[in-house]
Amino acid sequence: MFITSRATSAFALAFLLSACGQSGDRSSGAVSTSAGIPATPPTAPASDIVANDCNRRIGAAAAAAILGVARVKENIYFGHTKQPPDQMDVLECGYSEANPDPYAPFMKIVVFTPISADIASVYSSMSPHAGMQTIDTHVGTESFGWIRPGSGPGLFEAHITFRTATNIFQVQVGGMHGADAATGAASKLAGAL
């Protein structure tokens, strides 16, 4: 049994070293490198996703001020994605208060960039949810918004969707104490974009 496992281990080591372009010949004390394999691993191709696209829309200091908190942390960044129609660019960003409270204030921004021929139909497909209390919004060329109770006691979240000449923005602010605070924060966020 010992001989079989030692032979298997030696074979596995030789296979691994050959895959890396090296020889396991220990008799000479030297390790040879295959000339066909580069000595350093190749670097990954450059990504077309800019790591700070979200920060270009709104920075952490501005987010903290809008939420009325001392510090925020950035949400997980997934980069740009494509959606129908016509491979529309979509970017989702956000911040939440930097504390472990699951009901902490947060904000989310989704930026849609459809082709100009699709912008009106994409915007019209994003109608407000039925039965929600609407709020006055005065941003972009067209906008609508609504407010609803949040996930915690006494907390509210506000949503605003608006369009500009080239983009459609959806903003959400939640974890706010009171409907007025949520509405005010969502309006400030929309106005900052």
Residues in contact with 16: Cβ distance below 8 Å, sequence separation at least 6, in sequence order: none
146 CB-side CA count, 13 A: 11
pLDDT for 116-174, tens place per residue?
899 999 999 998 778 888 898 989 899 999 999 998 889 999 999 999 988 999 999 99
Between CA 142 and CA 3 the distance in angstroms is 77
Tokens of 131: 């039965």
pLDDT at 54: 66
Q: Comparing C-alpha atoms, which of 120, 117, 125, 173 is closest to residue 146?
A: 173
pLDDT at 27: 42
What is the identity of the amino acid at 166?
A: T
SS3 string of 38-87?
CCCCCCCCCCCCCCCHHHHHCCHHHHHHHHCCCCEEECCCCCEEEECCCC
Return the residue matching tokens 């050959």. 18
Domains, the chain, ranges and CATH? 1-43 (no CATH), 53-192 (3.40.1000.70)
Cβ–Cβ under 8 Å, residues 176 and 154: no
Query: Using CA of residue 174, residue 150, residue 103, residue 175, what is the dihedral sign?
Result: positive
pLDDT at 53: 65
Global pTM exceeds 0.95: no
pLDDT at 9: 41
pLDDT for 23-81, tens place per residue?
444 444 444 444 444 444 333 223 333 445 666 678 899 999 999 999 999 887 777 88
The alpha carbon of 6 is separated from its chain's Cα centroid by a whole number of angstroms, namely 48
The secondary structure of residue 22, as a DSSP letter, is B
The partner residues of 110 in beta bridges, in order of sequence, read 92, 170
